[in-house]
Amino acid sequence: MAFRCVAGLCLPFVAVLVGLYGLHSAWSCILLYHLGILVFLLAARARGEVLRRFLTGGSLRLAILYSIPCLLAGPFLYVYWKSITPEIGRLPVWLARHGLSGRGWLFFVAYYASVHPVLEELHWRGLLARDRGGSVAQDLAFAGYHVPVLAPLAKPGWVLLAFVALTAAAFCWRRAVSARSGLLVPVLSHAAADLSVMLAVHALL
């Protein structure tokens, strides 16, 4: 596996370690991550091809079908939250400690549900998956970087379940890109999942 690909896989782990655990800032974490994605994209010779795949191709009907189960992520989180978290009052305290309260939280919700899924799909299912259609290692890395994010908020069994679900989602999104050669399906369904989860967290607050 090329060095650039390995570095791309490690990027979100570094952003979480520095931004979330080092600086205790969710904004620092996500902006470092997104800045890294943009650097990788601008430095890649294939950036033109990746951007074309984002702007063209893909099935809107398939994107809607993929989005339906993704939209259920939020309601599932909301219904089972008391079983998921080790401590009911932990969520608002954790968010506040990491700079997510008041208007900052609302801006984060909007940013996470719009910009975040676009940049992630350009990175994971666009640039990193360009060669040989990607790999299971990329699916595992995508799911894996969510583990240290979720670990302070959820019981270990639920973190493991989230890891499995995210690995499956990454695999399905990667296969959809391979079959349709466009990023419409993963971008729209990923945005649906992120919006659903953000609204559920907002409701829990």
136 vs 20, residue with greater confidence: 20
59 vs 137, residue with greater confidence: 137
163-191 pLDDT per residue, tens: 999 999 999 998 888 666 688 899 999 99
Task: Measure Cα distances from 203 to 91, 92, 192, 198 in Å.
Answer: 12, 11, 16, 9
The reported pTM is 0.92
67-87 pLDDT per residue, tens: 999 999 999 999 999 999 999
Match 């655990």 to its residue by tokens. 21
Residue 134 phi, psi (nearest 5): 85, -175
For CA atoms 154, 35, 202, 161, the dihedral sign is: negative
The domain spans of the chain are 48-204
The mean pLDDT of the chain is: 91
Any residues with CB less than 8 A from the CB of 63 and at least 6 apart, and which?
A: 184, 185, 187, 188, 189
pLDDT confidence band for 4 (50 / 70 / 90): confident
Which pair of tokens denotes residue 71? 């939209």
